[in-house]
């Protein structure tokens, strides 16, 4: 009897899924072969910007399996009401113009791409000439920043991370500042030094004060760190002086990427009072090249964190907008044969949601623009192996992070390669982001 009830529930579950438009496409296999563990399943279809050796022009692509669909080659096929007069956005070197078209255009594009790539649609499947022009193997492409990033904001929205850092520097009784549970704390980062995955970064120089009884010293940072983060791209913006209400914030969130917001802790700790991070942060931020649309992530939505005290009315929303995204950080030193995983975390640990971040960012009338980047802040969970920075993993350098094979770290060494990966796990498929990778180069001595 118990087995019968389980099968009945499963049947009801499958029928329910099939009635949801976003899930309906999952029952149609694509004519492009996709491995079960590929980040780029038929249910994902992320956007990116790529070039090839034989065609260096930057163009928009969509990833599926080990292929990239060159959207500029099929732009004339987008004939729906939102896109028929704006096909030129798919012939641009960045995603900004497409982002600016807004929510309905993004949904229309996704629906059509799902149809075009499904196994029962012949337009692309059976046109050998068009397929040869439209598809490129991922091994043959060079990825670029997906958008021209006008502004970059970094939030501080993980309660576990904020608590850990607060304990280190202020003690357990004053771990969280009085404003932290009242608003999404953030600061403005440096957009010019946001780079795409695979770009090496040089160890920064700066002022430090390792001995508080002596004057500061100048030199390369000795406490170079990672920060496991995610970020969203703003789609359609708002006018100066007008806020984005939280009820409509999702209409302005285009999609998400992985992020490593590299940090020089010793430079940061000396400079950050009273105005916040500066040289300790602005030397480099790495993002993954593929932007995963929010519609691809919605099947993995989780209940929002319980927020006590209740936020002010402009920050309240009842709909869930937290996502179950598995996140991993690995580190490979120059002498290591294999990378070691140093962190396993999840985006669902965030306290403040992206809707709250965007509503707060604009409540004073600040205008955001297509391609602006909004980062989560370091994502740490409740357990030590889910801490999203080496500052936490080594507890401010007081203990070593074991990498195996006799290797250990407290902070990064020159030549270290750090890779962040992440994915949502579906039933026999994944919605992933591809790698977010960077390698540390030695400082330039002055």
pLDDT tens for each residue of 1-32: 555 555 555 544 444 444 444 444 444 489 99
- Say what the pLDDT of residue 1 is: 52
- Say what the pLDDT of residue 114 is: 97
- Say what the pLDDT of residue 2 is: 54
> What whole-number distance in Å separates Cα of residue 174 and Cα of residue 196?
37
Which of 87, 229, 102 has the alpha carbon at shortest distance from 155?
Answer: 229
Which of 188, 103, 109 has the alpha carbon at shortest distance from 152?
Answer: 188
E strands along 53-121, which residues? 55-64, 67-70
Q: Which two tokens stand for residue 344?
A: 């396993």
- Is 12 exposed, middle or buried (CB count within 10 Å of its CB: 0-12, 13-18, 19+)? exposed
360 phi-psi bin (left φ>0, alpha ψ -120 to 50, beta other): alpha
Out of 58, 86, 137, 161, pick the active-site residue. 161
Q: Does the pLDDT at position 69 exceed 70? A: yes
| Helix residue ranges, H only, 87-199 | 96-100, 103-117, 122-125, 128-134, 159-170
User: End-to-end alpha-carbon separation of the chain, Å?
Assistant: 77
* Residues in Cβ contact with 1 at an 8 Å cutoff, skipping those fewer than 6 apart: none
Task: Output the CA–CA distances (angstroms, integers) from residue 39 to 27, 36, 50, 125, 343, in the order listed.
Answer: 18, 9, 17, 22, 19
- % of the chain at pLDDT higher than 70: 93
> What whole-number distance in Å separates Cα of residue 107 and Cα of residue 152?
25
With contact defined as beta carbons under 8 Å apart, do 59 and 142 qualify? no
Which of 263, 270, 300 has the alpha carbon at shortest distance from 378?
Answer: 263
Q: Which two tokens stand for residue 369?
A: 């623009």
- Say what the pLDDT of residue 352 is: 98
- Say what the pLDDT of residue 19 is: 40
Q: Does the pLDDT at position 126 exceed 70? A: yes
- Say what the pLDDT of residue 7 is: 58
- % of the chain at pLDDT higher than 90: 92
Which of 51, 59, 73, 65 has the alpha carbon at shortest distance from 140?
Answer: 51
Would you call 161 a catalytic residue per the annotation? yes
Average pLDDT value for the chain: 94
For 225, list phi and psi in degrees, rounded to 5: -130, 165
Q: Does the pLDDT at position 82 exceed 90? A: yes
Q: Does the pLDDT at position 156 exceed 60? A: yes
Query: Would the CA dihedral through 70, 72, 77, 82 be positive or negative?
Result: positive
> What whole-number distance in Å separates Cα of residue 82 and Cα of residue 100?
12
Q: Does the pLDDT at position 425 exceed 60? A: yes
Higher-scoring residue by pLDDT: 13, 415: 415
- Say what the pLDDT of residue 17 is: 46
Q: Which two tokens stand for residue 93?
A: 């070197």
- Say what the pLDDT of residue 24 is: 42
- Say what the pLDDT of residue 180 is: 97
- Say what the pLDDT of residue 445 is: 80
pLDDT band at residue 217 using 50, 70 and 90 as cut-offs: very high
Residue 344: count other Cβ atoms within 10 Å of its Cβ: 15
Higher-scoring residue by pLDDT: 18, 61: 61
Q: Does the pLDDT at position 403 exceed 90? A: yes
Which of 71, 67, 117, 68 has the alpha carbon at shortest distance from 94?
Answer: 71
Residue 404: count other Cβ atoms within 10 Å of its Cβ: 12
* Residues in Cβ contact with 298 at an 8 Å cutoff, skipping those fewer than 6 apart: 22
Task: Output the CA–CA distances (angstroms, integers) from residue 286 to 3, 116, 211, 321, 361, in the order listed.
Answer: 49, 32, 31, 24, 22
- Say what the pLDDT of residue 10 is: 52
For 82, list phi and psi in degrees, rounded to 5: -85, -25
> What whole-number distance in Å separates Cα of residue 253 and Cα of residue 295?
10
- Say what the pLDDT of residue 5 is: 54
What's the pLDDT tens digit per position in 349-376? Answer: 999 999 999 999 999 999 999 999 999 9
What's the pLDDT tens digit per position in 168-194? Answer: 989 999 999 999 999 999 999 999 999
What's the pLDDT tens digit per position in 218-260? Answer: 999 999 999 999 999 999 999 999 999 999 999 999 999 999 9
Element (H, E) at 10: helix 2-18
């Amino acid at each position: 009897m118990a087995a019968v009830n389980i099968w009945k529930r499963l049947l009801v579950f499958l029928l329910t899924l099939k009635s949801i438009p976003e899930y309906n496409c999952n029952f149609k296999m694509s004519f492009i072969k996709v491995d079960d563990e590929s980040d780029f399943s038929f249910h994902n279809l992320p956007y990116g910007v790529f070039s090839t050796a034989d065609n260096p022009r930057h163009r928009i692509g969509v990833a599926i399996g080990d292929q990239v669909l060159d959207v500029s080659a099929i732009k004339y096929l987008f004939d729906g009401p939102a896109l028929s007069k704006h096909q030129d956005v798919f012939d641009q070197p960045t995603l900004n113009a497409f982002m600016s078209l807004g929510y309905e255009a993004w949904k229309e594009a996704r629906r059509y791409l799902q149809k075009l790539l499904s196994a029962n649609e012949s337009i692309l499947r059976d046109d050998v000439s068009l397929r040869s022009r439209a598809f490129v193997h991922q091994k043959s492409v060079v990825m670029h920043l997906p958008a021209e990033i006008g502004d970059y904001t970094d939030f501080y929205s993980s309660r576990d991370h904020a608590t850990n850092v607060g304990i280190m520097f202020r003690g357990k009784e004053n771990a969280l500042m009085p404003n932290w549970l009242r608003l999404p704390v953030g600061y403005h980062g440096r957009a010019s030094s946001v780079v795409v995955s695979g770009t090496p970064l040089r160890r920064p120089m700066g002022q430090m004060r390792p001995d508080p009884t002596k004057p500061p010293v100048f030199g390369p940072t000795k406490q170079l760190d990672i920060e496991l983060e995610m970020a969203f791209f703003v789609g359609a913006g708002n006018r100066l002086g007008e806020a984005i209400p939280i009820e409509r914030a999702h209409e302005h969130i285009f999609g998400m990427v992985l992020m490593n917001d590299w940090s020089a802790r010793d430079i940061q700790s000396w400079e950050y009072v009273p105005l916040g991070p500066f040289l300790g942060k602005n030397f480099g931020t790495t993002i993954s090249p593929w932007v995963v649309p929010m519609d691809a992530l919605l099947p993995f939505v989780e209940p929002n964190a319980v927020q006590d005290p209740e936020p002010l009315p402009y920050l309240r929303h009842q709909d869930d907008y937290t996502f179950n995204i598995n996140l991993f950080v690995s580190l490979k030193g120059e002498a290591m044969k294999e990378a070691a995983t140093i962190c396993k975390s999840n985006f669902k640990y965030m306290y403040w949601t992206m809707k709250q971040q965007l509503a707060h960012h604009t409540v004073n009338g600040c205008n955001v623009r297509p391609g602006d980047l909004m980062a989560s802040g370091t994502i740490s969970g409740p357990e030590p192996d889910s801490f999203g920075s080496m500052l936490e993993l080594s507890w401010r350098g007081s203990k070593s992070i074991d990498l195996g094979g006799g290797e250990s770290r407290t902070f990064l060494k020159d030549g270290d390669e750090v890779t962040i990966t992440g994915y949502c796990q579906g039933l026999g498929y994944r919605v992933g982001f591809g790698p977010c990778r960077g390698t540390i180069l030695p400082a330039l001595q002055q």
